[in-house]
Structures are given as structure tokens and as C-alpha cells.
Amino acid sequence: MHDISPIRAKSGTNQEGTSAHNRRVMIEALRLNGALSRADLARATQLTKQAVSNIIEDLERDGLVVALDAVRKGRGQPFTPYRLVPEGAFAIGLQIDRHLTRVVVVDLVGKVIARAEAGLPLDEPSAGVKIILGLVDRVRRELASLFAQSERRLVGLGVAMPGPFGLKESDDKWMMPAWQQFPLLETLAAGTGLNVGLQNDAAACATAERIVGAAHGVDHAICLYIGYGIAAGLILNGELYNGGNGNAGEIGRALLSPAGPGSTPLEHRASLASLYQHLGLDPAERGLYETLGALALQGDPRIMGWVERAASDLRWSVHLIETIFDPQTVILTSTAPEALARLLLQAMHPLLPSIADRPARRLPRLQLGTTDPWAIAVGAAAEPISRAFDPRFSAILKAG
């Protein structure tokens, strides 16, 4: 008899006309848990053994799943585990920020295969898109040199950039107005021949945390993202929540005083942009990440002063997030160096009392997540993978 410990999986359905949903449920179960047998999959997804066998055979035929060597435990019958084939699918992720762009290629399980980055001219999307298309072409050629069938298995291009999107304040420099008014997705689709999707950078960071970070296996987590601006990526019921217009979690625009003259958005006081301004640094400066990391490690008084003020505002934002969403944990993620992110995390304690302050917690109220500057591009690449392979209960409800 093999291991009967709990397996993380969504339920499939044995009703007719739901094979596409069940296929996605199986892929997600394998991605969350690693190799599983057919009996494991049937038990976890509540599908019949015959349905599981049919789907496994389809996935093997499509090059998405492979059988491993049979395993015998104790006196029971041997069983065959199955795992995902990483090179069964690839996706490209693109981060667009105010002064730079990063492009990555990931495989089906989120491993980075190729990457490239370049500076961007400020507020010049026409010139910037040419640079981006050049980087995309470069990583595609690198991918093709490693995997001969990669182009056939490329499922799309995910784009992440600062939001919010589609507001009336088109001249707000925090929102990259020139890029927002540019036909970005259409231009990228035409230039790459790929399906293109867009999300804000906090949502992409949350996606990266869900795949390979602190939110892996957590159904309700909020990623508080500290970048040039501030936003929150919302993982609710195990899925990324984007809101009605793709602007969910734009907490950086929350006001710290009553609306009206003198009101100050959170991100104007506690974002990395406010730190650059405080230190007199140019955000387009090369080596900025290393400079901030060194100052944080030294305990530079200017850094420490900003950290104390920013932490006071961010402490309030955690209280707000917990009150509204009741997450299992809040994860602080950032494009700041880890040393600086840890200073912020420490300074945010003690947290304000909230409904999350319960004695029987399994996860901490606030924990440090990814501080890798490439995490947003990786999360952006995960979006096309998710779109192609993750279960979508909204779709099955509409089909019903």
C-alpha cells in the first residue's frame, strides 16, 4: 500500500462534457504535488479510475505527462507514478517598468530557460516596443536552440506592468500614461504572432509566489508588493483575483488622509520611488539594486529613516488587507534587495491588532516572499501557462 497522505488537488467532475476541465484539474494536481499514481489522482480529484486513465493517456500522447518506473511498497501491487514533462509547454513573460524591461522563457513547471533585459527610454513606447521585440526574438532563438519543437509548444506571451489600467487620470506619471495610451497588446501580438495577456506587476509577483514561493499550496494569500509603486496581488480560493477591470489590489492608491486637498496615496510615501527621491537617486541608474543592498547592509541612517516612516504606513496596509480579505498570510514581496526588504519587514512589527491575530495560526500574519528582481517577469510568463492549463470553475459553470 503506498502513501495515503493528503494530496492537493481540485475536484473534477464525472458529468459529460467536462473533459477539458478534468484535464486541467489533473495537470494542476501533478504540478502541485509532483509525481502521482492513477489511484492517487482518482482519490484526490474524485474522478473515476477510468476517467483518470483516459486523461493520462491523452496527456501522454500530447507530450505533457510521462510515466516513471513502477514502484512497489510493502506487499501491495506495484504502481506507476506519472509526472509532468517540463518541456511539454513554454511561455514568455515580459516585465515593462518605467526604465527597464525584462523577458524570460519558462517551461510548464515554471523553470526559467532563458532571460534578457534592457533599459527603456522613458515615456517612449514606440521606441521601447522595438527593444522589447528584439529581446523576445533573442530568447525565442535561445529556446529553439535548446528544444527543437519549442515554437510548437509556446502557449503565449504574458505582460506585466504597473497599473491601474484604464483610468481617467491619463497624465498621472505613476501610471506610465504614454504606455497606457499606446496599442501595446496589439503591437506585441502582431510582432510575435503569440496570444498576449496583460496584468499588473503585483498580480504577476503573486503568481510567481504561488508557483515557486511562499504562496505555494496556500489558498488565501495576499502579496503586498513594494516596487516603484505599491500594489497587492490577491490569491483567493487558490486562484489569482484580478477584479472587474484588472485593477484589484491597487492598494498603493489608497489615501492616508481623507480625500481632498493634502490627501496622500500610500505609494507616494512608502514605495521604492519615494526611497529614490529620499536618497536623491536616479531610478534609471545602472547598479541601483546593488547600491540599495549595500546601503541597507550598512544600516545607512538615511535608509533607516525612510524604513521607519514607510513601515508605519505599510503596517496600516497589512491591517486593511487582513480586515477585508481574511487571508491565511500576507507575503511581503519586492524588487528591493533582500537586505532592504528584511529591514522593512522587521520595522513593520509589531503589527496592528486585527481579525488575523489568532492564537491557532499555522502561518505567520506577515512573512517575507520573493525579492528577486526577475520575479515579475516569471509571474508574467506563468499567466499564459495558467490560461492554457489551470482549472477555471467560472468556465465550467458557464458551460453548465
Domain-wise residue ranges, the chain: 19-84, 88-203+378-389, 214-369
Identify the pLDDT of residue 396: 38
CA dist 106 and 177 (Å) reads: 29
Identify the pLDDT of residue 1: 40
CA dist 92 and 139 (Å) reads: 9
CA dist 146 and 164 (Å) reads: 37
Q: Are strands 154-161 and 112-119 parallel, antiparallel or unpaired?
A: unpaired
Identify the pLDDT of residue 398: 37
Asked, colleague to colleague, whether 19-84 and 88-203+378-389 share their fold, the answer is no
- Exposure b/e, 371-392, CB count within 10 A at least 16 = b: bbbbbbbbbbbbbbbbeebbbe
Identify the pLDDT of residue 169: 60
Class of 88-203+378-389 in CATH: alpha beta
Identify the pLDDT of residue 122: 82
Identify the pLDDT of residue 9: 61
Cell of 134: 528584439
Identify the pLDDT of residue 71: 86
Intra-chain end-to-end CA distance of the chain, in Å = 38
CA dist 24 and 81 (Å) reads: 18
CA dist 142 and 371 (Å) reads: 26
Q: Which of 104, 102, 96 is nearest to 122 (CA)?
A: 96
Alpha carbon separation from 149 to 60, 85, 146, 384 (Å, rounded):
16, 14, 9, 18
What global pTM score does this model have?
0.85
Burial of 166 (0-12, 13-18, 19+ CB in 10 A): exposed
Domain at 19-84: CATH code: 1.10.10.10
Identify the pLDDT of residue 400: 36
CATH 3.30.420.40 fits 214-369, yes or no: yes
Q: How many other CB atoms are found less than 10 A from the CB of residue 255?
A: 12
- The tens-digit pLDDT sequence of the chain (400 residues) is 444 456 666 555 544 446 788 898 899 889 878 899 999 999 988 889 999 999 999 999 999 999 998 887 767 678 899 999 999 999 999 999 988 999 999 999 889 999 999 999 988 999 999 999 999 999 999 999 999 989 999 999 999 998 888 776 655 666 688 888 899 999 999 999 999 999 999 999 998 888 778 998 899 999 999 998 899 999 998 888 988 888 888 888 887 766 566 678 888 889 999 999 999 998 888 888 999 999 999 999 999 999 999 999 999 999 999 999 999 999 999 989 999 999 999 999 999 999 999 888 999 999 999 888 899 999 999 889 988 887 764 443 333 3
